Amino acid sequence: MKKTLSAGVIRTDLPMADGRTIRYYDTHNQERSAVDQRPREDQPSIGELRLDPLLNEWVAMAAHRQGRVFLPPKELCPLCPTHDQLMSEIPDSDYDVVIFDNRSPSLRPPIGEWEMSETFAPGNLNIESPIVPSAGKCEVVCYTSDHDKSFYELSDSQVRTVMEAWRDRTRELSQEKYIAHIFPFENRGEEVGVTLNHPHGQIYAYSFVPPRAEKMLAVADAHKKRTGRVLMDDIVAREIRDEVRIVARNSEWISYVPYASRYPFEIHIAPLRPVADLAELDDRAADAYPSIAKETFKRLDGVFGIKMAYIAAWHQAPVRVGRDSLRLHLQICSVRRQPGKLKYLAGSESAMGAFIMDMKPEQSAQQLREVSL
């Protein structure tokens, strides 16, 4: 299957040996036909969702994930193209950007007709709720075939292809009846538990609106009801007015350390013409993304002159609710507060959700701005 997207990107889908799908996103109309030669392997069965009654929140149980590959050497990297020594996850001998179904998914497409369970409704707590299959989808997004590159070292065209792939996946996953929320993200660095060093991100598509998205939705809905305005628009306006926390901007995007950041280095990147999700982003905004993203991530690594561990998370409106009150933005959080020191989520943060910051947001914004590019 071939499909033409924006910015000259062409998507080709191919089956993998165990029934999963790999999607190549190419800019030069490459022919993709390499066959996955690995032996067939049974896919793990679907896990379960259990309701934590104290918080009325779902926890996904994925016991089969314990055997995952852990920091393999470069020559055994499953995200590099297939080569003489290794049949990797990508059957072809090169690629631009690929997205394939995760081999050890925390969430899996349900079998048969999907019915939204009644227990998914927030507030409808039933502590004896039955175990629910952990429906959803987990995908791996390889940003480049080059094992040693960082995101900001990619060419503008390569980052644009990644953006096109995110938009495409958001559009397509939004069509699935069992998917309620789509979350593209990147974990970078062993300090945040990364098990593969190859530059890549992931997409989690949940069958429920996750707790933090649900809370953001409730807050934004209340704000809209009271003021008639969209919360995120007010927030971006305030950041522009305050100016002191801005890290970078261009014609379409702004990046800033938020007024009440929770991590030593937390940066948000938001489009200046707001949209609900990646699928709603137009080409003009998508085309301007590589420059702001590359500058922002480069400044982050520049602060201490080291590869910063971070979590980069795309916040989108859920698929079916809050489309008018929630707005797309990328949240980057780094736990590194000094070259040899991390911020840990200890008692106050993890048990109480009350964050303590050792550093003022204005101070980290200044450090980020002072990095020479």
The stretch among 224-232, 243-251, 269-277, 300-308 that binds its own copies (CB under 8 A) is 224-232
Q: Which two tokens stand for residue 30?
A: 């490459």
Q: Which of 206, 256, 289, 297 binds its own copies (CB under 8 A)?
A: 206
| C-alpha–C-alpha distance, residues 207 and 17, integer Å | 26
Q: Which of 76, 111, 121, 219 binds its own copies (CB under 8 A)?
A: 219
The stretch among 2-10, 33-41, 210-218, 277-285 that binds its own copies (CB under 8 A) is 210-218
Footprint of its own copies on 336-365 (CB under 8 A): 337, 341-348, 350-360, 363
Is residue 216 a contact point for its own copies (CB under 8 A)? Answer: yes
315 is catalytic: no
| C-alpha–C-alpha distance, residues 153 and 295, integer Å | 10
Q: Which two tokens stand for residue 46?
A: 């679907």
The stretch among 16-24, 124-132, 171-179, 317-325 that binds its own copies (CB under 8 A) is 124-132
Which CA distances in Å does 42 have to 17, 18, 20, 33, 283? 10, 7, 11, 23, 40
Footprint of its own copies on 61-100 (CB under 8 A): 61-63, 65-66, 70
Q: Which two tokens stand for residue 318?
A: 């859920």
Q: How far is CA 17 from the centre of its chain?
A: 26
DSSP alpha helix (H) spans, 175-282: 211-227, 231-242
Footprint of its own copies on 170-189 (CB under 8 A): 181, 183, 185-187
Is residue 60 a contact point for its own copies (CB under 8 A)? Answer: yes
Annotate 136-168 with b (16+ C-beta within 10 A) or e (fewer).
Answer: bbbbbbbbbbeeeebbbebeeebbbbbbbbbbb
Is residue 313 a contact point for its own copies (CB under 8 A)? Answer: yes
Residue 216 dihedral angles phi and psi, to the nearest 5°: -60, -40
Is residue 307 a contact point for its own copies (CB under 8 A)? Answer: no
Is residue 224 a contact point for its own copies (CB under 8 A)? Answer: no
| C-alpha–C-alpha distance, residues 166 and 133, integer Å | 26
Footprint of its own copies on 131-170 (CB under 8 A): none
Task: Choose, from 181, 198, 200, 315, the residue flagged as catalytic.
Answer: 200
Q: How far is the CB of 27 from its own copies (least distance, A)?
A: 27
Is residue 231 a contact point for its own copies (CB under 8 A)? Answer: yes
Active site residues per annotation: 200
